[in-house]
């Protein structure tokens, strides 16, 4: 197997997918831990069914075509609670994980 097939780090390219993206460094950002006010924390009175319907896949019951953004970080970082609860049923998270493109974001970033 060649280094490129293994996704070896060469010239800043860190994965096969990154190489195919032209070395752009594109990543799917996920918050490392839940916020103190995360809607997925137990005991909070949010209508999760309504919020999850907003990103549900209309063609595949129980799956998600979109993802829930972290309200603390804004639109470019996925909510840690959503990723933990629905990562196995979210197409974007599945693909990013399989391609090694998930980047965990800390609170300070």
Q: Is residue 13 part of a domain?
A: no
* pTM confidence score: 0.68
Instruction: Dump strand ranges (E) for 1-109.
Output: 28-31, 77-78, 102-105
Instruction: Give how many domains the chain has, as a whole number.
Output: 1
Q: Is residue 18 part of a domain?
A: no
Place of tokens 């137990």: 42
Taking only the tens place, the pLDDT of each residue in 31-62 is: 999 988 888 888 877 778 887 887 787 777 77
Cβ atoms within 10 Å of 99's Cβ, excluding its own: 17
Q: Is residue 83 part of a domain?
A: yes
Q: Give the range of the structural domain holding residue 80, as residue numbers without chain letter.
A: 28-105
Taking only the tens place, the pLDDT of each residue in 9-30 is: 333 334 444 444 455 567 889 9
Give Cα separations from 57 to 9, 10, 50, 67, 92 (angstroms). Answer: 35, 37, 13, 10, 11
Q: Is residue 17 part of a domain?
A: no
């Amino acid at each position: 197997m060649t280094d490129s097939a293994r996704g070896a780090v060469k010239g800043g390219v860190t994965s096969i997918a990154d190489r195919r993206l032209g070395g752009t460094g594109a990543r799917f950002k996920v918050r490392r831990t839940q916020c103190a006010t995360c809607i997925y924390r137990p005991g909070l009175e949010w209508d999760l069914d309504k919020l999850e319907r907003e990103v549900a896949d209309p063609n595949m019951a129980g799956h998600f075509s979109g993802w829930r953004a972290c309200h603390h970080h804004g639109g470019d970082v996925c909510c840690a609670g959503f990723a933990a609860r629905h990562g196995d049923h979210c197409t974007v998270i599945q693909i990013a994980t399989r391609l090694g493109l998930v980047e965990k974001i800390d609170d300070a970033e």
